[in-house]
Structure 1
Amino acid sequence: MINQQAGGNPMPQEITKPTPLLKEDGSTVVGWASSNLLDYNKIDCAAPLARIKEWDRYTVVSPDCAVTLSIADLGNLGYIFASLTDFTQKPCRTFSQTITRAYPRGRMSLPLSARSGDTTYTSKQVGMRFSRSAKSRFLNCEYVNFCEGKTLYLNLSLDEPDRYAIASADDFGGKKGCFSYRYQVSCMPASGVIRYGGAEYSFRPESSFGTLSWCRGVFPTRAGFTSATLVGQVKQVPFALFAGGPLESALYYGDQFYKLDEINVFPEENGSWQFRFPQSGSRLEMSVLQKNEVRSSFLMNFCRHEQVFGSFSGKLSVPGQKLSLDHISGFTEQFESRL
């Protein structure tokens, strides 16, 4: 695999071997890795359980629909979220529902590692489970009275490749006791079925792809981030792009990996979004298809997660070649919390 930066600016520190996320003095190892090399252990956190944030979120996109499932334990606030966006309807329609839990503080038992352990939530209304084997991930959900009194049923399997992943660890500018560890996997071919009411959506691996966003951390009282994920095929070659800060931005094309610097995102007056790459001068434009949002609050605690689906077009310059993107599926995400 090629390991190079598309541009001449210095890269943030690359982590190349298994390393504890938190040092003995409690500080964070800041850097990035192209695989899940940092070892997160909640026991090592000096912060109380009320401040530890953990979530697993999967988004799977097909030509006909997109589904997002989230299980989040944010200390003083937890939520279980499901959304289904139907691209076949004009305009697009989204069906979503959120269950909020007060003061979970670790009792939702999210796994310590993205490499092992199941993530589950069960109640009278919903059963949601994320599990995995050596090379696959499995998403199962049965949500009764999901929207309009209908039941959402989901059974999907995602083939997890050896590449198309980026891990990033940050310390929020050196704020004492604060850190964020995000592990993202994309371009996972998806197969299976979703049923909602009388509609059925089939997922085929040649045209359906899943993304995992796995996050653990201790955030400042107020925190937020913006990112984007593109996934699909360019010239029949697998393609994935993570756009965010300098630690987490990366591009995958076939077996080539390019570490990118920060990518600038600009909303346009016509409703589209512009993505500019200062290193290479490349630009992408996203035509918005649908916006989803989950808001959870309890007393003074607040969390908002917005997801905007769209199609991306434009040209990307990477060492030795230019890639032309024509309506590649993707989504932007904005997260903010006051916890």
Structure 2
Amino acid sequence: MQKKMGTGPLLDAKGHLAECGWSNSEVRSYDRAAIRANALRIKEWDYYCILTPEYGLALTVADNGYLGFLGVSWIDLRARKATNHGAATFWPMGKMNLPASADSGDIDQSASGVSLAFRHEAGGRRLKVDAPGFDNGAGLSGELWLAQPPMDRMVIATPFPRAPKAFYYNQKINCLPAEGKITVGGETFAFTPTAAYGVLDWGRGVWTYSNTWYWGSASGRQGKDVIGFNIGYGFGDTSAASENMFFLNGKAHKLDQVTFHMPCGKLDEAPWKFSSNDGRFTMDFKPAVNRHHTTNLGIFKTAQDQVFGHFSGNVGLDDGSLFHVERLPGFAEEVRNRW
């Protein structure tokens, strides 16, 4: 079943999801003050990933209750190398003031020499990064403009079994054309809107302590078309709706359940495959580099394998026609959390 949500508050007076399901716009309003769960269980983040066929940038601002995190990653698909850098703060507990909407409210955070700013402006978003300590002092800095024309997005409200006050409210905004420059270790890389596309992963929720998720995303231009997709599963009760969606020139095509067929052994040394129960999504993934990152603070541990590469395959559109995807840059990941 794929249940489309209506408008209104995300949570009811008891802190339960007012409605579960999906949408192609921000129909439900998030209010941290309406949460009735332990504040340590509240997790909020904004994550941007901007890719070209050859290189890319990932930026994270996260408030995970007892740990805040600012993350900067540079991905070189040609050299098959990913470099991570970040700064942690303890016990933010909401003091990072992450916005209640994906469409308004700015983020401006600094910690331990890392500065990140995500700002809304008319027609899009402006991202700024300054991390002089990146890659043992090589440094990374720059500014990107992500245009956001009117278009659909993936929105989902997911409950957790046996945890009535736990939920995940997630928005994925794909196909954001990027323009700007990023300097890494003295070398400047250009991002142009014909080749560079970003995705925003906007997440707000109350999470259970131990969980694993699988997520894949890709955006780019193929001929005259701008295409992208979001796929994922692995946590919560997705019986009302999945987060699987294909985008073609701003219009969403809703998919049912998608399964990741991951290789044994090292995840960036063998192809991946993806299939859907409705037969509408069949994709091969040729990996280039695994952006592996682990944080282990005992009671808090997160381990992620985010593999970047290129997708090729076919997607069935809502009108029954078939769209072929060829070497679309993106990523697929497995993330395991105790938090």
Q: Same fold (TM over 0.5)?
A: yes
Aligned residue number for residue 3 of structure 1 = none
In 2, Cα distance between the equivalents of 1:154 and 1:238?
Answer: 25
Tell me which moved more, 261-270 or 325-334: 261-270
Does structure 2 retain, via aligned residues, the 8 Å contact 1:77–1:297?
no
1:135 positional shift: 2.0
Identify which of 217, 225, 229 aligns with 2:217.
Answer: 229
The reply to whether residue 44 of structure 1 matches residue 34 of structure 2 is yes
Counterpart residue type for residue 337 of structure 1: N
Count of equivalent residues: 326
Identify which of 110, 113, 131 aligns with 1:143.
Answer: 131
In 2, Cα distance between the equivalents of 1:282 and 1:299?
Answer: 39
In 2, Cα distance between the equivalents of 1:218 and 1:138?
Answer: 28
Tell me which moved more, 321-330 or 299-308: 299-308
Tell me which moved more, 31-40 or 240-249: 240-249
Does structure 1 retain, via aligned residues, the 8 Å contact 2:151–2:251?
no
The reply to whether residue 109 of structure 1 matches residue 104 of structure 2 is no
Tell me which moved more, 310-319 or 51-60: 310-319
The reply to whether residue 254 of structure 1 matches residue 235 of structure 2 is no
What is the aligned-residue identity percentage? 26
Question: 5 Å matches for 1:64-79?
Answer: 64-79=54-69
Where 2:132 maps in the other structure, the secondary structure is strand
Aligned residue number for residue 84 of structure 1 = 74
In 2, Cα distance between the equivalents of 1:282 and 1:124?
Answer: 43
The reply to whether residue 97 of structure 1 matches residue 62 of structure 2 is no
Instruction: Evaluate the alpha carbon distance shift between residue 202 and residue 156 of structure 1 in structure 2; reply closer, same or farther with a 3 A threshold.
Output: same
The reply to whether residue 284 of structure 1 matches residue 283 of structure 2 is yes
In 1, Cα distance between the equivalents of 2:290 and 2:118?
Answer: 24
Aligned residue number for residue 195 of structure 1 = 183
Give the alignment's Cα RMSD to 1 decimal: 1.7
Does structure 1 retain, via aligned residues, the 8 Å contact 2:43–2:205?
yes
In 1, Cα distance between the equivalents of 2:228 and 2:336?
Answer: 25
Aligned residue number for residue 16 of structure 2 = 27
In 2, Cα distance between the equivalents of 1:254 and 1:261?
Answer: 20
Tell me which moved more, 23-32 or 57-66: 23-32
In 1, Cα distance between the equivalents of 2:276 and 2:112?
Answer: 47
In 1, Cα distance between the equivalents of 2:246 and 2:133?
Answer: 40
Question: 5 Å matches for 1:167-182?
Answer: 167-182=155-170
Runs (5+) with no aligned partner, structure 1: 1-9
1:281 positional shift: 5.5
In 2, Cα distance between the equivalents of 1:199 and 1:58?
Answer: 22
Does structure 2 retain, via aligned residues, the 8 Å contact 1:22–1:44?
yes
Aligned residue number for residue 311 of structure 1 = 310
Counterpart residue type for residue 249 of structure 1: N
In 2, Cα distance between the equivalents of 1:336 and 1:43?
Answer: 28
Q: TM-score, normalised by structure 2?
A: 0.91
Runs (5+) with no aligned partner, structure 2: 234-240
